[in-house]
Amino acid sequence: MPDNPPMTAPSPDAELMALIDRIGHRDEAALRQLYDRTAPKLMGLAMRVVRQREWAEDVLQEAFLTVWRVAGDYRASLSPPLAWLGLIVRSRALDLLRRRTADRAQLTQEFDELMADTLESDAPNPADTADASEQAWALHQCLSQLESKQREVVSLAYLREMSHGELAEQLKLPLGTVKTWIRRGLEKLRICMGRFA
């Protein structure tokens, strides 16, 4: 899929949407199929937000139970199916982080070290576009054009719902640097995403 232009990329959306519709009608086999298709992807997302395997697995469990309960509402969201699932996982993951704030406060140091590691790994864009919607593919293309540090702070700001100040504190960067990276990153995204509109 990644070697095709987005307009002709084959979309797995129809298949995932059919599964979500069946789950809306209490079809457990469909839930299992959706789990098999998407759990590793969503687990990767949960890990990125909460960073601990046990927590990420709790998030995944909560997310699929949410899907089981609200699948009937999916169509009204007008979202690509994987993005809808992703938003549920992110929401459950942020809930978990809020619940663990007290524990985190005690172990701030450990948290900071992990965050620093995240930035130091000057890795290429690790995105995996399998099963992703056309829109996600466009975002992937545009994120690839950012410098890795810009991409990293933009991603962390979104996925972990962090402010400029929180990013600066936990990444041990000057506030101005974080603001500049995010502003430049968004500016590039704006121009690039405009071409896909």
Cβ atoms of 84 and 127 within 8 Å: the answer is no
Instruction: Give whole-number Cα distances, 1 to 24, 29, 117, 135, 163, in Å.
Output: 29, 28, 31, 13, 34
Rounded to 5 degrees, φ, ψ at 191 are -65, -45
Site for another protein contains 72 (CB under 8 A): no
* Contact call for residue 83 and another protein (CB under 8 A): yes
- Closest among 3, 79, 89, 1 to 38, alpha carbons compared: 89
Q: Does 177 bind another protein (CB under 8 A)?
A: no
48 belongs to the binding site for another protein (CB under 8 A): yes
Q: For residue 188, state whether it binds another protein (rule: CB under 8 A).
A: no
171 binds another protein (CB under 8 A): no
Binding status of residue 34 toward another protein by CB under 8 A? no
Query: Which C-beta is closer to another protein: that of 20 or that of 162?
Result: 162
Total residues interacting with another protein, rule: CB under 8 A = 71
Determine, following the binding rule CB under 8 A, whether residue 186 of this chain makes contact with another protein.
yes
> How many whole angstroms separate alpha carbon 71 and alpha carbon 40?
19
Which of 133/170 has CB closer to another protein?
133
Of 5, 10, 54, 124, the one binding another protein by CB under 8 A: 54
Binding region for another protein (CB under 8 A) out of 2-10, 14-22, 139-147, 168-176: 139-147
Instruction: Determine how many CB atoms are found less than 10 A away from the CB of residue 121.
Output: 10
Is the CB of residue 99 less than 8 Å from the CB of residue 70? no
